Amino acid sequence: MAEAARSERAGRPRRPGTGAAAGTSPRRIALEILRRVETTDAYANLLLDARLRRADLSPADRALATELTYGVLRLRGRLDWMLQAVLDRPLAALEPVVRLLLRLGAYQLRCLTRVPAFAAVDEAVRLARSLGAARSAGYVNAVLRSLTRQASPPEPDPGSDPIAYWASVGSHPGWLATRWTLRLGLEEAARLMAGNNAAPPLTVVTNRLRAQPDAVRRALEAAGLDFAVSEWLPGAFRLRGAGSPAELPGFAEGHLIPMDEAGALPVLCLDLGEGGRVLDACAGGGSKSALIAAAVGSRGEVLALDRSPRAMRRLGAAMARLGATGVRPLQGDAREAGAAWPGAFPRVLVDAPCTGLGTIRRRPEIKWRRQPEDLGRAAALQGELLAGAAGAVAPGGLLVYSTCSLEPEETDAVIAAFRAAHPEFSPEDPGPALREFADPAAPGMLRAWPQRHGTDGFFVARLRRAT
């Protein structure tokens, strides 16, 4: 760090991340999150939000920690491709902490312009020593300095060898790149993967139980935030560079629900009105339950079912913040809903657990975590949940199935198998308001695409039960 010290004595302004204490430096925090993501099923966004709440960092250093965490996850394939060109052994053969340190350093050296090369290298070496990898500190130093001196090798041609390109420089696993290219065609698959690699806006939806969209818009303007009104969902806003949702004006007061616009499509498909009775059969954190509660009003009833105790805790806290007193959380299994409440609900939503492959732009770790066999496992559970909840739909009622995945196994195939076993349910057009997302080849089905709509990937099926 001698060079950094000399530059500060010379009066140069300190760059983000070059002067924080080692335990709270943005690079150390990013490394902590990346290690947790690699060794557990935790999601980076939840880990990072919790860690930044505990850290005493300047706004610039908070932004750097966020940029490093998501940047390394999004562009891991590109970083590994660049690093392998200067390594003397396979990247996979390195200790996990060394591999992560090299990715962090490579991202700063090749993908950021505001971090000086000396700072990126020296901080990586210092981190290696502080984490008990002192024997590898020299190696980290040598590799990163080689990266500063050598140009990147020629990239694979995305036109003549698209799989090689997207599986390396394009930062997607080869199986996904191959799958999407075969299913969607080269051009559309490339657009989808490029969309996955783009940082998404923070999207919030107005909680109409506590606020109105005009008031939310004025609060965002008064805070000087960069935002746009959603073109797809009334009362939703897309924000750039806004940081954590908890820091937004009105969040603590329950005015805002952080969720992607596509996540609201299943609720719109329920065709809700004042006083409705709804079963949210896989409620999770409760964002959709809150939107449902606002739509059915004080005379309505929302039963929010989930089998996870953790989801119940999150849901309870969210409903308290949002003032959704009409939501009744209940721990239970959607597969048993039909037996528990036969024909009791005019509206039932099954927002099923899935691979999450439609949310890669928000949760980039998913593309490195998922494997082809996960699709079959997810589809089997989704079919069971849909069949179990279907019995709770009243005659003439609506059953809406949704996933944040666009893979055929989790979408069309689940619906086809369900309808074969339950002919009393038929697909129904959700109406002109959602026509932009409608699939003309599959009546009653909606699909939102990152590359087409600027949203997460989402599938929705609306089914009507015969009277």
Dist. CA 215–CA 52, nearest whole Å: 28
Q: Torsion angle of alpha carbons 184, 187, 189, 191, nearest 10°?
A: -140
Both tokens assigned to 319: 């409903």
Residues 6+ apart with CB under 8 A from 50: none
Handedness of CA 171, 172, 177, 178 (dihedral sign): positive
Both tokens assigned to 95: 């200790």
Dist. CA 443–CA 427, nearest whole Å: 6
Q: Categorise residue 448: left if φ over 0, alpha if ψ from -120 to 50, beta otherwise.
A: beta
Beta bridge partners of 351: 402
Q: Phi and psi of 265, rounded to 5°?
A: -60, -40
Residues 6+ apart with CB under 8 A from 54: none
Quick one: which of 16, 28, 96, 110 has its CA closest to 63? 16
**Three-class SS string for 190-243?**
HHHHHHHCCCCCEEEEECCCCCCHHHHHHHHHHCCCEEEECCCCCCEEEEECCC
Q: Pairing relation of β-strands 327-331 and 277-280?
A: unpaired
Instruction: Give the DSSP H or E segment for 459.
Output: strand 458-465
Residues shown for the chain: 467
Strands (E), 378-448: 393-403, 425-427, 445-448
Strands (E), 325-449: 327-331, 345-351, 393-403, 425-427, 445-448
Dist. CA 371–CA 83, nearest whole Å: 24
Strands (E), 292-390: 301-306, 327-331, 345-351
Active-site residue identified among 269, 282, 354, 404: 404
Name the one residue in this structure whose structure tokens are 């952080």.
258
Per 3-state DSSP, the chain is made up of helix, strand and coil in percentages (nearest 5) of 50, 15, 35
Active site residue 404: yes
Computed on alpha carbons and rounded to an integer, the radius of gyration of the chain in Å comes to 24
Dist. CA 281–CA 289, nearest whole Å: 10
Would you name the residues annotated as active-site residues?
Answer: 404
